[in-house]
Structure 1
Amino acid sequence: ALTADRAADARTAALVPEFLLVSGVGCAKNTRVPRSAEYPSDVPALTPTFVRVAWDGGDRDAAVRTDAVDRFHAWLTGRDGLAAFAAAGFRSATGTGHPLLGAGPADTGVLSAAGPLPGAAARTAVDTALSRYRSANGPGRVLYLLDSSGSMRTRWPGPSGGPGILKQSLGGLGDEDEYGVWGVYDGPGGRHHDEVLAFGHHRRADAERGVDAAARVRDAESDPHAALLDALDTMAGRGADDKWPQLIVYLTDDEDDDRLTGQNLAQVLERARQRKVPVDMVSLVAGSCDRGRPAAAVAEASHGRCLDTADDLGTGLHDEVARVGTGED
């Protein structure tokens, strides 16, 4: 939303799809400062693309579905569909000067013909821009805590298991980033984790092979309270002399949440506020991010994010890690 201050509004540019200046006028009565479209010569035009989506079970009644899709496509690209696009304020994708599809004078703030526009941005240019954006704050550090207790056995194999989701997220990290993986479980001598992947710089393929070789389910419980306290202290120590972005990721099935309640939870929340290292709690079960659950509380106290099976865990965690790292996926 634009600022409510008229003076600030007058010197503020809004980046919006052009057609909204024609069809998105439901709030016109609240407009404080009239706006006119600008057409930068180095910004490519975007052509709407017809995409047919599919889903599990979407192949049922295939002939009927295909017929419906074909008829809708014919309508969109025919006279009635183009009239709907024109009424909404869209332009010609191919005509000289990209004229508005609608006949008659242009609406206020919009040019009838925008003039020549460049072609689509090259993939290499987009990749370069993303790489520069991600590395603006320098390399990042990520410490993964992978619940390796016995209850994880059924949530271990495949791309949707704990190691699989972890490996998917490595695409958000680059060669300059530092990261490592702990396997969290109750070990001998009071240990609460072992080192699955040493903290440091890694090529993605090497890191994935390292996780495959060393990560395994243990016949033991886990102690999220002890593991999180140690992780917060470890990351705070690593970041004491620089301002690299940092993140802790805890992948778990929440089976040992009874050890992250009461005073134990209070201690973790206090340490998280002190250390100021975000913690993303990634749960492989439903409801873990509901208000009042330990995972939600830890994420909130540390200014991290909580993800559970209500989210797309692979994509969600990849995006979170990419905010810290300099990867190119």
Structure 2
Amino acid sequence: GEERGLRAQEPPRLAPPPVARAVRALDAIGEVTAPVRALMLVDTSWSMRRRVPGTSGSRAALVGRLVREGIGALPGGSSAGIWRFADGLDGERPYREVLEIGPITGRSAKIRAASGDLAIDVGGRTRLRESVLAAYRAAASHASAAEPGLVVLITDGGADSGSLGLDGLVAALEEEFDRKRPVAVAAVGFGPDADRAELTRIAAATGGRAYLAGTVSRARQAVRDAVTRRPCAVECRD
């Protein structure tokens, strides 16, 4: 039932990020038409096996399609990569690269295959915070003022089983922000377990946007919005 899937009605909008921090990221990242280096960070923990109400597919299968669509909507000249995260994916690391960051042009077959693989071997506990920080650092290593970084986090929530606390993650994101290698985190949560407050704080730490999508159509809109709109200076509006 809907208690295990996406909600029929959209929840309230998320609170805006602090103005000063959002303006800082806004200045650094610039117009949405400029190319970016995007890293899609996808939750593949056990809860992603659940079926999406009204469909025959799992949450993981849906997210795979959303990732493919999101990459396709990036500004021309952009690069993209895909990571998945869950406990025990790569030894002690709770995340694994599925597709390295590289030009979108000429890689449509690889992008399709990698996004499809997100629905395979789904399981494990959620270790979101450690994965976000690692993805942020990876994106920053590829970013520049001319081609900023973007981490698009997609998760259905659930308890974080890792050792890194939310305060520690937020502090690290704020401390490591570099105007010469700007990176924004856009956080997309869906399903009843998505942690609205946590996603808001994570995104706000980089001046990025946070979304809580209660329906499939809203989830699709949120991912597209995350890759086509620059950070909001005062308030994120639909």
- Alpha carbons of 1:194 and 1:287: their partners in 2 closer, same or farther (altered >3 Å)? closer
What corresponds to 2:44 in structure 1?
148
The aligned amino acid for 2:101 is F
Q: How does 1:60-209 map to 2 (within 5 A)?
A: 134-135=32-33, 137=34, 139-154=35-50, 157=57, 161-173=62-74, 176-187=77-88, 188-203=90-105, 205-206=108-109, 207-209=111-113
User: Shift of the alpha carbon at 1:218?
Assistant: 2.8
CA–CA distance in structure 2, aligned partners of residues 196 and 211 of structure 1: 8
CA deviation string 1:47-98 (max 9, x = no partner)? xxxxxxxxxxxxxxxxxxxxxxxxxxxxxxxxxxxxxxxxxxxxxxxxxxxx
Counterpart of 2:175 (choices 253, 274, 278) is: 274
Match 2:189 to one of 264, 272, 283: 283
Larger radius of gyration: 1
**Structure 2 residue 199 is the aligned partner of structure 1 residue 295:** yes
Q: Which amino acid aligns with 2:94?
A: H
List per-residue Cα deviations over 1:99-156 (Å, max 9, x = no partner): xxxxxxxxxxxxxxxxxxxxxxxxxxxxxxxxxx754x4x211111111111110157
Instruction: Give the drift of 1:282.
Output: 0.9
Report if aligned partners of 1:295, 1:306 keep a CA contact under 8 Å in 2: yes
Q: Which has the higher strand share?
A: 2
Q: 1:308 to 1:287 in 2, by over 3 A?
A: farther
**Distance in 2 of aligned mates of 1:248 and 1:192:** 17
The higher-RCO structure (CA 8 Å, 6+ apart) is 2
Q: TM-score, normalized by length of structure 2?
A: 0.67
CA shift digits 1:174-218 (9 cap, x unpaired)? 562111010101225202111211210124732123321465243
How far residue 287 of structure 1 moved from its aligned partner, in angstroms, is 7.2
Aligned match of 1:243: 146
1:144 and 1:180 in contact (8 A); partners too = yes
- Contact (CA 8 Å) 1:150, 1:220: kept in 2 or not? yes
Cα distance in 2 for partners of 1:190, 1:289 equals 25
Alpha-carbon RMSD across the aligned residues, in angstroms, is 2.9
Matched residue count: 186
Pair 1:317-2:218 in alignment:
no
Q: What is the deviation of 1:319? A: 2.2
Match in the other structure for 1:305: 209
Number of the residue aligned with 1:232 = 136
Tell me which amino acid in the other structure corresponds to 2:168: Q
Give the C-alpha shift of residue 243 in structure 1: 3.1
Please give the TM-score of this superposition, normalised by the length of structure 1.
Answer: 0.50
